């Protein structure tokens, strides 16, 4: 495993994914906190958290087969674009 970590490209990818996941987690917490501050309702906050987890539960398992069906490079680019557009759409008014 240590040989893999010596590969600069892999290390950059790994660190990028780590920071991205960290940002996603902070975003979910901040969104729930914002809902709680704006509405004062713990039920609304719980609903937002439940809705944010639902796609992972529904699509997480079937998504494991997708890389086997498509070219991994194009799939990675598509996922990166989708990840970027999601918060951009939410903040657009």
pLDDT at 30: 92
Contact of 49 with 30, CB cutoff 8 Å: no
pLDDT value of position 61? 73
Residue 57, token pair as written in the block: 């539960």
Backbone φ and ψ of 61, nearest 5°: -70, -50
| Per-residue pLDDT, 93 | 54
Question: What's the confidence (pLDDT) of residue 41?
Answer: 93
Task: Give the domain ranges of the chain.
Answer: 2-91
What is the pLDDT tens value at each position of the chain, 93 positions in all?
Answer: 677 778 888 888 889 989 988 998 898 899 899 999 999 999 999 998 888 888 878 887 777 777 777 666 676 777 777 776 666 666 665
Evaluate whether 38 touches 32 at the Cβ level (below 8 Å).
Answer: no
Say if pTM beats, i.e. exceeds, 0.85: no
Helix (H) or strand (E) holding 89, with range, is: helix 72-91
């Amino acid at each position: 495993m240590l040989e893999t970590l010596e590969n600069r490209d892999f290390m950059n990818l790994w660190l990028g994914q780590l920071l991205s996941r960290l940002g996603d987690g902070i975003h979910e917490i901040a969104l729930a906190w914002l809902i709680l501050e704006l509405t004062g309702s713990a039920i609304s906050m719980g609903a937002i958290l439940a809705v944010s987890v639902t796609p992972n539960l529904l699509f997480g398992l079937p998504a494991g087969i997708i890389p086997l069906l498509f070219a991994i490079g194009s799939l990675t680019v598509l996922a990166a674009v989708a990840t970027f557009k999601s918060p951009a759409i939410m903040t657009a008014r």
